[in-house]
Amino acid sequence: MTIFRRAVAAISAACVLGTSLPVMAQPAPAPSLITTEEATAASVQQRVGELLARADVRDALAARGVDAAQVEARVAALTDSEARLLAEKLDRLPAGSSDVLGILFAVFIILLITDLLGLTKVFPFTRPAK
C-alpha cells in the first residue's frame, strides 16, 4: 500500500508541475505574402506600438523613468537588422508574466496530497487516509 501511495503522489506531483510550466508566445501568421524585411520591420513597430498603448506598460516605463515617446521614436529609427533582432527577442519571451505563483500553488497541492496520503504531516487540518 505504501508503494501505491508513493506512486500516486509522484504521478500527482508530475501532473501539477507539468501544468505550471511557462508558455512561450507564438508569432501570429502573416495574412498575405510579403518580403521578410517588410514583415520584420512592420511587425516589430506594430507590436511595440501595441505594447506601448497598454496602460500597464506605460506605468512600468514611467516607474523606471523612461518616456514612452522616446521609446516610440527609437523604435521608429531602428534599422532592419535591429528590428529583426528585436522581433526575435519578443518572440522568445514567455507569454505569462511570472510563474512564481504557479510554483507555489504546485508545492501546496503536492504537500496537501502527501498529507492526505499520510506520507507527511505538514498541515494540521488534514487527516491521513488509513
pTM above 0.75, yes or no: no
Residue of 107, 105, 108, 127 whose CA lies nearest to 118: 127
Largest CA distance in the chain: 69
Query: How many Å apart are CA 87 and CA 36, to the nearest integer?
Result: 12
Contacts of 30 (CB under 8 A, 6+ apart): 39
Whether 41 is in a domain gets the answer yes
**Which domain does 83 fall in, by range?**
34-93
Query: How many Å apart are CA 30 and CA 43, to the nearest integer?
Result: 10
C-alpha neighbours within 13 Å on the C-beta side of residue 71: 19
Tell me the per-residue pLDDT of 87-127, one tens digit each, with 9 for 90 and over. 677 777 766 555 677 778 888 888 888 888 888 888 788 88
According to DSSP H, which parts of the chain are helical? 2-19, 36-53, 55-63, 68-76, 80-92, 100-117
Per-residue pLDDT at 77: 75
Query: How many Å apart are CA 130 and CA 116, to the nearest integer?
Result: 9
Mean pLDDT of the chain: 74
Tell me the per-residue pLDDT of 44-95, one tens digit each, with 9 for 90 and over. 677 766 777 788 878 887 888 878 777 777 777 777 677 777 767 777 776 6
Residue of 109, 113, 116, 92 whose CA lies nearest to 18: 109
Residues 98, 117, single domain; the answer is: yes
**For the chain, what is the domain count?**
2
What single DSSP character describes residue 64? Answer: T
Residues 38, 87, single domain; the answer is: yes
